[in-house]
Amino acid sequence: MKDLEDLHSLIARKLTDMVKGEECNAAVLNVARQFLKDNNITNALKHDPDLQALTEAVPFTNTDEYGLPN
């Protein structure tokens, strides 16, 4: 289980770096969006600082009440 947690955190950190960096493009944003959606981000934010950082890095301006893209 620890290996899966480590992999999950690694993916979240890498996506955060990519969204914040020069390699950000539509494909990266789509992967980040799907990763957040797949992780039910409205509940995970309280427990996962890596997902919180990714959520803050994604440049969506049209969001719902939970900060997710519309």
Nearest-angstrom CA–CA distance, 22 and 39: 25
What pLDDT does residue 52 have?
A: 77
Task: Record the pTM.
Answer: 0.59
Reported as a single tens digit per residue, the pLDDT across 3-52 is: 999 999 999 999 999 999 987 899 999 999 899 888 877 655 567 788 77
**E strand or H helix at 20:** helix 2-20
Burial of residue 12 (number of CB atoms within 10 Å: 0-12, 13-18, 19+): buried
What pLDDT does residue 57 have?
A: 82
Reported as a single tens digit per residue, the pLDDT across 40-65 is: 776 555 677 887 787 778 776 666 66
